[in-house]
Amino acid sequence: MQKNNAPIALVVGIILLICSIPIRWMTLHNVTISTPRMPDGFPQMPGHFPSMSGMSFSVNGLNGNITLGVELPIWLIVVIGVIGLVLLLLNQFRVAAIPRWGILLPLGISLVYVLYGFGVMIISDEVSMGAGVFLALAGLGIGLWAVLKTRSVPGN
């Protein structure tokens, strides 16, 4: 008898994604605080505030954003990925018949944003990575593996 471990893997992927939210995704080093330019007629603030040497900020899924055309909070990016995994889990249990594109859309959106954030972390000298981004990538990877492993998704 062949065992289907996809539902277990999907639950693990969902747990990994959810656990990535409170964990540190990155630390920004040597941060300078700047103010936006005020419209004409308003008093202008200084462009940069003095900062202490070595000042850094930790970013997690609750306080961080990733901007790729549209600025999305990290927690929302993770929730979009979780939605994709839950839809696939519903298909696995034959509760729903979501087409493959309906599952790949939220997974793809979440994966593109997380990979973009990961890429920015890799090329920047002023950023160190945390475990949160790796947990999110692992959870999304499990979801993509399960979609590709599934030969026929109900509703296709």
Residue 114 lies in a domain: yes
- The answer as to whether 124 is a domain residue is yes
Specify whether the CB–CB gap between 61 and 26 falls below 8 A: no
DSSP state of 65: E
Q: Along the chain (156 residues), what's the average pLDDT of each consecutive run of 10 residues?
A: 74 96 91 64 58 75 93 97 95 88 94 94 90 96 87 50
What is the pLDDT, as a whole number, of residue 45? 58
Residue 32 lies inside a defined structural domain of this protein: no
CA gyration radius, the chain: 20
Quick check: is 4 in a domain?
A: no
Query: Quick one: pLDDT at residue 32?
Result: 66
Is residue 95 situated within a structural domain?
yes
Distance between CA atoms of 119 and 67, rounded to whole angstroms?
12
Q: What is the pTM of this model?
A: 0.81
Asked if the structure places residue 74 within a domain, the reply is yes
Residue 57 lies in a domain: no
- What residues make up the domain containing 144? 65-150
Q: Is residue 110 part of a domain?
A: yes
Q: What's the confidence (pLDDT) of residue 54?
A: 64
Structural domains in the chain (count): 1
Residue 119: Cβ within 10 Å count: 10
Residue 40: predicted pLDDT: 67
* pLDDT at res. 93: 87
